[in-house]
Amino acid sequence: MAEGIAAIGECMLELSGQSGANWRMGYAGDTFNTLWAMRALSPGHHVDYVSAFGDDPFSQAQIAFFREHHIGIAQSPIIDGAKPGLYAITLTGAERSFTYWRSEAAARQLASDPTKLAKSLENRALVYFSGITLAILSKEARRTLLAAIAAERAKGCHVAFDPNYRPRLWPDAGAARDAVAEALEVTDIALPTFPDEEMLYGDASPEATAKRLEHAGVAEIVVKNGDQPALISHYEKLETVPATHVSDPLDTTGAGDSFNGAYLSARLLGIPPVEAVKRAHRVAGAVVRVRGALAPFDLLRLAFDR
């Protein structure tokens, strides 16, 4: 029985917690943040972060950080001379903005070796990727990635996808829509965020987003909407689940990613979608009370099990 979990994408160096000239360095990226939550909440599953890494000291430290937290890298290639991407978080209250240095990041070569990529996805209960995963790849690399995912899905692996639209990563909205449409063809569980879908597709409501994804053939959909209720479509049955109210958020970085990780962990445990969303809301509510994208495992577990 397949029990592994793989998330695919880019984990960057994260600079956060600015105090004058002092910054704290960590590791984060949308799909890695989700895998981090799943590592905390899915202890019975081996987890791997599938990407590409450099051979510099920062990349070596990143891989060591993964290993320390029992996160593997499967057969991800190590690229001579490459380095990880970098971003810095600046906060206004609890709301964050980002500055990126990522155009030559090693992760852009994650599909450079199709054989290693295929091996990295073998024997998985779940594979997870996002629109950012697609955006950092060339068209040819996206085709290689989606073919590898489709091959594992045909063997019984479940596939989860968050469109996670970031305009600056795409040449234009049409290119993003085309790539997302191809990804939805291999998707079992879609985890979109309504403001992103509104921006990319002009959706009038979360219900419109859910209906559009249903028509694309996705059986299970959770439309996130910040501190508003999440909308679930499970085989076209619609239900809403209120968000967890947080009166004193400290940093919203990684909240939606952690929601995804908690939801997917719950579904792997056989928990029905409504209860899975309730747990995911609680986990996201806990994450916004800490700085940076990665909350301590114990905090995530406490919120998930409460």
Structure tokens at 63: 């891989």
Structure tokens at 165: 């639209």
Grouping H, G, I as helix, E, B as strand and the rest as coil, residue 165 is coil
- CB under 8 Å, gap of 24 or more: what pairs does 235-240 form? 238/207, 238/210, 239/273, 239/274
Closest CA to 53 of 44, 61, 45, 42: 61
- Supply the DSSP string of 196-251, one letter for each residue: HHHHHH--SSHHHHHHHHHHTT-SEEEEB-TTSPEEEEETTEEEEEPPPP-SS-S-
CA–CA distance, 74 with 238 (Å, rounded to integer): 37
CB 53 within 8 A of CB 76: yes
CA–CA distance, 258 with 40 (Å, rounded to integer): 10
Residue 20: which residues within 8 A CB-CB, separation 6 or more? Answer: none
Examine the residue annotation and report whether 251 is marked as an active-site residue of this protein. no
Identify the active-site residue in 113, 257, 298, 305: 257
CA–CA distance, 74 with 241 (Å, rounded to integer): 36
CA–CA distance, 28 with 43 (Å, rounded to integer): 20
Q: At what angle do helices 30-41 and 297-305 cross, to 10 degrees?
A: 70
Q: What are phi and psi of 75, to 5 degrees?
A: -105, 25
Active centre residues (catalytic): 257
